[in-house]
Structure formats: C-alpha cells, structure tokens
C-alpha cells in the first residue's frame, strides 16, 4: 500500500488529464468512490472526468458531481475522445476489464497509466500499472479512503467527498451489517460524519426515496414470485421483461429484492433473476461459506464476492430458473451444512 501510494502521489504531483471509470450497472460503491475521487483530484488542478459504461439508478443522482458524469453508452464519441487523451485512468470497483463492457476497448487501447482500486476477488494483474486490491475491504470506497490516508491527504476530504465515500461504504455493507464491516469501517465512517457527511439524510435519500411502483413491484415479487426450496435452504425470485413493464420499471427498482429472499429464516442461498436490456441478469446472495462467486463464475459468466455475486444467463428466465434449481439440488449437501 505505502509503495503504491507513494508512486500514485508522485504521478499526481503535476496536473494531469484523468478519467475515472467503474463497472457496468454502477451501484452506490461504484458511484460513491468514483465521484469521491473526482472531487479530491479536482482540488489539485487535475482535469477529471467520470465515465460510466452505462446509466445508473435514480436514487444515486443526488450525489455531488452527478451532473458531470459522462455515460459511455449515451456519449460514445465524447467518452472515447476524452479517454484517448487521458494521462491517467482510474479503474474503480471492478477487477476484470469485461466489467466495463463496450467501454473496455477504448480503455485497454489507451496508453494512459492505469490505477486499479478494488475489493473484488482475483484481480486481473494485467489490468493496471498500479494495483490497490484488498478483497477483505468491505467496499472500494473504504479502500479509497485508505489510499487517500496512505498519501497523507485525508485533510483534503471535504463534505462532498465524505458524502460520496459514505454512500459507497453504506451501500456495500448493507448499512454496516455485513461481516465485511469492521471496527476500521466504523472509524472511517466516524471520520466522514465528523467531516460533514449527513448520515441520516444520506440513508433517507438512498433507501427511503422509492417510487410507489418500486414498492408495489417488491410486494409482487414476495407475494407472487417467490419460489422456496426449504429442504435446500434456498429461494428464487424471477421477473420477465413484461412483468417489469407492468410496474413501469426504472433502473434501480429491483436493487435489494434478492436480500428479502435471504431474510427468510433458514434461507442461506437466494437468487434473483430479471430480464433487463435484452439480457437475463442474475443476482446471487448467500450466508455462511456458500461461495456464490464460484457459482456465478461457473454457470453465468460472472463473479463478485463470496456472499454477493452476479452474472448473466444465455437462456430465458424460465430456463434460467431450471438451471438454478439444478444448482440448488447439486449443492444440497453444502447448502444443508451452512450454519444459519
């Protein structure tokens, strides 16, 4: 960490053209760390752009700096031009270049010095020149705080940066409840609140800001679409494109649905399947040692963390349910051995 932080500080000692990018379907950690870093770097007279591969949920749009974000899918030409001219590219909250989808070619072909800051498993060591990877970190936002600290720059963290990092840590820890949350996490959060992060406001803006349609869709998922496999401690919820349409689906509306399946007593493996943007996307969650990142990787060209992963299915929603049912029955011994 120290050595990399010193190298990064040297790179940042003169004004640079900088691009910050993050994974497709950016979540709170992706946007919180990207925007937090943007605000920090702008203090040092760098020219900074945050470029996301695609758009993200409305409940993240209040974040400071959101109006400056360039969405690659909507502005390919501008995004490519800025990236081709960049001196430095920060890659935040992903560990494989495929996670930035169609933006990957431009980033890979760029001669810029690349810096990875990430907490996912098995980072591709070829992805960047300087790699800050800590798979034990609860969030990229926490790791970014630690990188800022290692560069002796925490005195530059202002209210804007503090709120961005707070969002990243809060969302990736399920509001500080996952086992990845440590004493260090709470120390950092305390610092961020002391620097001006309005914690109650942030929780409200992220979690208590849903459309009525979103809540009705959640009700529909739980009341009509929940498949339970109690003998194997598993649950599946699925939605087709038509069903999403019925509830006037907006990006972000299904975020967190999978956690309700996992909140059922006895359930240690929960899967949410949804047909979006012409793809069948899966969210996998588990409790205990059941490694959903291995399942995501083996069956759904995906990955993530041991207890929270995602991937894509090449077949219909119904056929995907069948594949998941097979996975559940093939893993019944392990699923029944989880302490719950």
Rounded to whole angstroms, how far apart are CA atoms 15 and 25? 30
Applying CB under 6 A, among 33, 171, 309, 320 the residue interacting with ligand 5GP is: 309
> Which region, judged by CB under 6 A, interacts with ligand 5GP, from 246-254, 261-269, 297-305, 324-332?
297-305
Rounded to whole angstroms, how far apart are CA atoms 97 and 124? 8
| 146: partner contacted, choices Mn ion, ligand 5GP, none (Cβ within 5-8 A by kind) | none
The answer to whether residue 93 forms part of the interface with Mn ion (CB under 5 A) is yes
Identity of the residue, 168 or 302, whose beta carbon is nearer to ligand 5GP in the bound complex: 302
Applying CB under 6 A, among 125, 279, 312, 315 the residue interacting with ligand 5GP is: 312
Side-chain-facing half-sphere of 52: CA atoms under 13 Å = 26
Q: 318 burial class (0-12, 13-18, 19+ CB within 10 angstroms)? A: exposed
User: What is the phi/psi pair of residue 51, to 5°?
Assistant: -120, 120
Identity of the residue, 137 or 321, whose beta carbon is nearer to Mn ion in the bound complex: 137
Rounded to whole angstroms, how far apart are CA atoms 180 and 183? 10
Binding to ligand 5GP in span 59-88, by CB under 6 A: none
> Which region, judged by CB under 6 A, interacts with ligand 5GP, from 105-113, 122-130, 299-307, 332-340?
299-307
Q: Among positive and negative, which fits the CA dihedral 61, 107, 29, 163?
A: negative
The answer to whether residue 214 forms part of the interface with ligand 5GP (CB under 6 A) is no
**C-beta of 287: minimal distance to ligand 5GP in Å?**
15
The answer to whether residue 114 forms part of the interface with ligand 5GP (CB under 6 A) is no
User: What is the phi/psi pair of residue 223, to 5°?
Assistant: -85, -35
| 39: partner contacted, choices ligand 5GP, Mn ion, none (Cβ within 5-8 A by kind) | none
Binding to ligand 5GP in span 173-212, by CB under 6 A: none
Of all residues in the shown chain, the one whose CB is closest to ligand 5GP is 310
**Closest C-alpha to 142, from 168, 164, 120:** 168
**Closest C-alpha to 79, from 55, 98, 57, 106:** 106
Which residues sit at the interface with Mn ion, rule CB under 5 A? 29, 93, 140, 172
Which residues sit at the interface with ligand 5GP, rule CB under 6 A? 23, 99, 283, 302-305, 308-312
């Amino acid at each position: 960490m120290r050595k990399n932080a010193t190298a990064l500080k040297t790179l940042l000692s003169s004004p640079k053209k900088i691009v910050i990018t993050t994974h497709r379907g950016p979540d709170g950690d992706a946007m919180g760390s990207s925007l937090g870093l943007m605000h920090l770097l702008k203090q040092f007279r760098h020219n900074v752009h945050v470029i996301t591969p695609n758009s993200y949920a409305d409940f993240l749009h209040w974040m400071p700096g959101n109006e400056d974000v360039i969405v690659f899918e909507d502005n390919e030409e501008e995004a490519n031009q800025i990236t081709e001219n960049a001196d430095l590219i920060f890659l935040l909250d992903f560990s494989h270049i495929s996670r930035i989808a169609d933006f990957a070619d431009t980033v890979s072909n760029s001669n810029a010095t690349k810096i990875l800051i990430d907490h996912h498993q098995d980072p591709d060591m070829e992805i960047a020149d300087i790699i800050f990877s800590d798979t034990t970190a609860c969030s990229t936002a926490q790791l970014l705080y630690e990188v800022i600290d290692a560069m002796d720059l925490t005195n530059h963290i202002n209210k804007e940066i503090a709120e961005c990092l707070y969002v990243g840590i809060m969302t990736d820890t399920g509001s500080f409840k996952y086992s990845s949350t440590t004493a260090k996490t709470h120390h950092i959060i305390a610092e961020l609140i002391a620097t001006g992060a309005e914690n109650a406001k942030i929780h409200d803006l992220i979690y208590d800001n849903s459309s009525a349609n979103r809540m009705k869709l959640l009700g529909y998922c739980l009341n009509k679409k929940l498949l339970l496999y109690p003998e194997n401690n598993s649950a599946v919820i699925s939605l087709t494109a038509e069903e999403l349409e019925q509830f006037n689906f907006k990006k972000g509306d299904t975020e967190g649905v999978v956690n309700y399946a996992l909140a059922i007593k006895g359930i240690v493996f929960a899967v949410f399947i949804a047909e979006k943007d012409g793809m069948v996307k899966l969210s996998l969650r588990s409790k205990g040692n059941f490694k959903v990142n291995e399942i995501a990787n083996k069956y759904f060209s995906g990955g993530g963390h041991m207890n929270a992963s995602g991937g894509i299915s090449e077949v219909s929603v119904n056929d995907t349910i069948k594949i998941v049912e097979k996975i559940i029955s093939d893993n019944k011994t392990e699923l029944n051995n989880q302490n719950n």
